[in-house]
Amino acid sequence: MKIAEVIVDITNSQVDKIFDYYIPEWGQVGQRVLVPFGKLVIQGFVIKIKDNSNYDASKLKSVISSVDEFPVILPEQIELMSFMIKKYHLRYVDVLRLFIPSELRSDKVKPLVEFLVKLCDGADLKQYKLSLRKNAKNQLALCDYLEKEKLYQKSMLAKQFSNLAISKLESDGIIEVFEEEKLRTPNFNIVKPIAHTHTKLQKRAIDEILNCNDTYLLFGVTGSGKTEVYMSVIENIIAKNKTALMLVPEISLTPQVLSQFKARFGEEVAIIHSGLSAGERFDEWRRILFNKVKIVVGARSAIFAPIQNLGIIIIDEEHETSYISESNPRYNAFDVAEFRKNYNNCSLVLASATPDIASFKNASENKYKLIELPERVNGKPMPKIQIVDMLSEIRNGNTGIFSSTFLYELDKCIKEKHQAMIFINRRGFSSFMRCQDCGYIAKCDDCDVSLVYHKYEDKLKCHYCGKRYKALTKCPECGSSTIRNGAVGTEQVVSKLKELYPNVKILRMDNDTTRTKNAYQKILSEFGMSKPGILVGTQMIAKGHDFSDVTFVGIVDADQSLYHSDYRSTEKTFELITQMAGRAGRDESEGKVILQTYVPRHYAYRFIANYDYKGFFDKELNLRKVTQFPPFTTIIRLLFNADVDEIVRETTKMCYTEIKELKNNYPKDFVYLDVMKSPIGKIKNKIRYQILMRITHDNENELISQIYNICDKYMNSKVSVFVEINPQNLS
Ligand code: ADP
Ligand code: ZN
Ligand code: ZN
């Protein structure tokens, strides 16, 4: 008998290896099977079938049965699994679980079947009716009804004519009842497909992408019509009988794009994102697996979709950090996209108005082909960005959150019955509450962070663990009742605006207002209909939205992301504000952007106001080179977590000693190495320490693999160790 290599579906690091089993003739690679495992019978996945085993043949057990009739993992995914395990030091089962929706593994969701009814071949309804007794009213009525159509839903017939009548006709051989699967598909606003005549630049971009298989960076300003480029490219690809995969960030945020895809490609597109119901996700995944669709559009995890014969992969808004998974299993969707591009020998398109510095560096070194869309489709200028110095506002006696220019432009926008978007990247009412007399700041009991005041609920909240506390009316330390609020958040902006415009629709979009399913869609469509209207929000409102009547964009506090203790803070600020500004003036009426700052002379703002990405890029890249930060080096953080301070401190120290030895063996490769308490020393009652290093690219892979091995030794039931490569968040 043949031998199958099987990965068992158990999360236990001790059993994360491949097991050999005998498998009968029916066995296929990629199939889900049941296998004996100790005293249990569990699910496993066949990843290889071979003739011989290295284990003692007499001790091998046999696969019990298959779970599905078809393979659920593609050969491509089996190779991808090896790639990911090697690159990210992951466990087999964790990778496999990325490939298969949990709904399938748990067997909790079943295909939705419908019972249908049709007339049997050769059934003579007239003759049959004559044979019925006069008082068989339901049967007679059913017979009359059945002459109308070919196919009926059984449930509908049962309601009208009773189940009994149906089973009588069935047993008399007049009708046939059979099952058919009904696929659940996500709902969309139905829109009419828009047919655009391509601009010259769009046409050039489309031709270039279709010309040869390569990696492209599509650098197009906001409103340059990138979505139309994607759709045309995809249209061409599927005309050649190939398939397409497109990643978009936070999919539920851009229902407009999805509706356009559905309008243009209908049943040929499958959608995957976290907002789907379990049944929808299960069915969309199976439509893909069974080659029923040609296009997959989805958020990060859609990169694993079992779509075959790829002709193109597109990553929209490629600078978005949501393409990187920062919790187990950690991976970067780019690496996976690159793997799939090579496997399928197809093109990969990365697109953005504000490309990641590392991507643009690759393009400038000709590792990617650069395609530019420097103008908006309608030839309209980019909205003018005016920088307002908030210190001089204070000097002039205005201590409010809005400058006079801000208020003037907003007022103009409202009077003209246009729409305004106001950006403040902090949710809640104010960032902290502090006692004016003794300096006491309310902090979370379980995390080393200050609490944020939420006025709507009148509660203090921890943004790290979610714990809620009573709001302060007086200081618990000194009893003083002069409590001061910290920096403004979305709630406060909304409440100020409501005072100014009691009759204008003002909507808020942030993590607090979008917890329920479809909340995004509701807020966005309500805003779309409100003229005049104001949408206040965090970074959620900055990206992708295409509202034609937005003429004013206000940035309340631009500096906020500038002072994160992160080497990327300037890049992130540039990106966020440029994207936010891009929401204004997308149609006929011109747009205006007011950017409020306390450091008006910061170089980032000069480049932002001039829409000078390339100037910014040169300056930033040079800075990174001089200071030896990514993309010139790689940052590695080893994060240690435990309940007891002493245990985690000791473990970190021991590990640090070993890493220092490693550094001695590779003295040229380490540009930085240190050990310390993490910036946030405690989260959810876990004490956090870290070892931080930066290494050059010369021996990067070798070093990372050695670091993984070192860390494995310190992982135990008391301490957890995370190895983070270029982490997005260093708190
Ligand atoms: P981007 O993603 O580059 O910011 P979009 O793809 O959202 O830009 O396009 C902006 C707007 O321009 C959309 O409303 C789109 O329908 C429209 N558009 C795209 N291409 C054309 C074209 N060739 N002619 C006219 N309008 C277009
Ligand atoms: Zn006090
Ligand atoms: Zn907390």
**245 CA to centre of ligand 1 in angstroms:** 20
- Say which amino acid occupies 382: M
What is the pLDDT of the chain when averaged over all its residues?
91
The lowest-confidence range among 28-42, 560-574, 621-635, 665-679 is 560-574
Model confidence at 486, pLDDT cuts 50, 70, 90, reads confident
Give the nearest ligand 1 atom to 582 CA: 4
Ligand nearest to the CA of 231: 1
Model confidence at 11, pLDDT cuts 50, 70, 90, reads confident
Give the nearest ligand 1 atom to 373 CA: 3
Q: Percentage of the chain surpassing pLDDT 90?
A: 62
pLDDT score of 5 more than 80 = yes
Q: Which residues does a 6 A CB cutoff place in the pocket of ligand 1?
A: 194, 196-199, 202, 220, 222-228, 377, 546
Q: Which residue has the higher pLDDT, 143 or 30?
A: 30
The lowest-confidence range among 100-109, 216-225, 348-357 is 100-109
Q: Percentage of the chain surpassing pLDDT 70?
A: 98
Give the nearest ligand 1 atom to 199 CA: 23
**188 CA to centre of ligand 2 in angstroms:** 53
Give the nearest ligand 1 atom to 198 CA: 23
Distance CA 463, CA 467 (A): 8
HSE-up (13 A, CA, CB side) for residue 610: 9
Contact 480, 434 (CB under 8 A): no
* Mean pLDDT to the nearest integer, 258-264: 87
Nearest Cα to Cα of residue 368 among 575, 231, 571, 219 = 219
The lowest-confidence range among 88-102, 197-211, 214-228 is 88-102
Q: Are strands 505-509 and 533-537 parallel, antiparallel or unpaired?
A: parallel
pLDDT tens by residue, 110-119: 777 888 998 8
pLDDT score of 416 more than 70 = yes
Distance CA 489, CA 139 (A): 68
Model confidence at 536, pLDDT cuts 50, 70, 90, reads very high
pLDDT of residue 180: 84
Residues with CB under 5 A from ligand 2 (ion): 435, 437-438, 440, 475, 477-478, 480
Nearest-CA residue for ligand 1 atom 2 is 226
pLDDT score of 435 more than 90 = no
pLDDT of residue 518: 78
Residue 703 Cα to chain centre, angstroms? 30
**428 CA to centre of ligand 3 in angstroms:** 15
- DSSP assignment string, 296-332: EEESGGGGG----SEEEEEESSTT-GGGEE-SSSPEE
pLDDT score of 464 more than 90 = no
Residue identified by tokens 């049943």 is: 267
pLDDT tens by residue, 305-355: 999 999 999 999 999 999 999 888 999 999 999 999 999 999 999 999 999
Pocket test for ligand 1, best of 227, 246, 256 (most atoms within 8 A of CB): 227
**311 CA to centre of ligand 1 in angstroms:** 24
pLDDT of residue 437: 87
**461 CA to centre of ligand 3 in angstroms:** 8
User: Which residues, listed in sequence order, are joined to residue 506 by a DSSP beta bridge?
Assistant: 534
pLDDT score of 187 more than 80 = no
- DSSP assignment string, 668-683: TTEEEEEEEEEEEEEE
- Residue 207: Cβ within 10 Å count: 14
Local structure of 646: helix, strand or coil: helix
pLDDT score of 675 more than 70 = yes
**685 CA to centre of ligand 3 in angstroms:** 8
- Residue 416: Cβ within 10 Å count: 14
**241 CA to centre of ligand 1 in angstroms:** 26
Distance CA 339, CA 81 (A): 11
Residue 192: DSSP 8-state: P
The lowest-confidence range among 37-46, 96-105, 202-211, 654-663 is 96-105
Nearest-CA residue for ligand 1 atom 10 is 223
**441 CA to centre of ligand 3 in angstroms:** 14
Nearest-CA residue for ligand 1 atom 9 is 225
C-alpha dist (Å) from residue 653 to 236, 408, 636, 695: 57, 58, 16, 20
pLDDT tens by residue, 351-400: 999 999 999 999 999 999 999 999 999 888 899 999 999 999 999 999 89
pLDDT of residue 13: 66
Backbone φ/ψ region at 250: left (φ over 0), alpha (ψ -120 to 50), beta: left
Nearest-CA residue for ligand 1 atom 1 is 223
pLDDT of residue 652: 97
- Residue 358: Cβ within 10 Å count: 16
**440 CA to centre of ligand 2 in angstroms:** 5
Residues 45, 51, 54, 60: is their CA dihedral positive or negative?
positive
CA angle 38, 40, 46 (to 5 degrees): 85
pLDDT of residue 217: 98
pLDDT of residue 121: 86
Q: Which residue has the higher pLDDT, 545 or 658?
A: 658
Distance CA 29, CA 4 (A): 8
pLDDT score of 109 more than 80 = no
Model confidence at 254, pLDDT cuts 50, 70, 90, reads low
Tokens of 185: 């598909």
Tokens of 706: 């050695």
Residue 269: DSSP 8-state: E
Distance CA 577, CA 611 (A): 10
Nearest Cα to Cα of residue 568 among 357, 334, 363 = 357
The lowest-confidence range among 53-57, 421-425, 648-652 is 53-57
pLDDT score of 304 more than 70 = yes
* Mean pLDDT to the nearest integer, 515-523: 83
Helix 700-714 / helix 645-665 crossing angle, nearest 10 deg: 150
Pocket test for ligand 1, best of 373, 377, 382, 575 (most atoms within 8 A of CB): 377
pLDDT of residue 189: 67
pLDDT of residue 702: 95
pLDDT of residue 565: 67
Model confidence at 705, pLDDT cuts 50, 70, 90, reads very high
Model confidence at 279, pLDDT cuts 50, 70, 90, reads confident
Domains and CATH numbers, the chain: 2-106 (3.40.1440.60), 113-181 (no CATH), 200-373 (3.40.50.300), 384-430+487-624 (3.40.50.300), 634-725 (3.30.70.360)
pLDDT score of 242 more than 90 = yes
Measured torsion, CA atoms of residues 97, 99, 101, 107, in degrees rounded to the nearest 10: -70
Local structure of 221: helix, strand or coil: coil
pLDDT of residue 718: 92
- Say which amino acid occupies 416: E
**686 CA to centre of ligand 3 in angstroms:** 11
Ligand nearest to the CA of 448: 3
Nearest-CA residue for ligand 1 atom 12 is 225
Q: Which residue has the higher pLDDT, 126 or 616?
A: 616
pLDDT of residue 546: 83
Give the nearest ligand 1 atom to 260 CA: 16
Residues with CB under 5 A from ligand 3 (ion): 444, 446-447, 462, 464-465, 467
User: Which residues, listed in sequence order, are joined to residue 22 by a DSSP beta bridge?
Assistant: 3, 62
pLDDT tens by residue, 138-184: 888 888 888 877 788 888 889 988 998 899 989 988 899 998 887 77
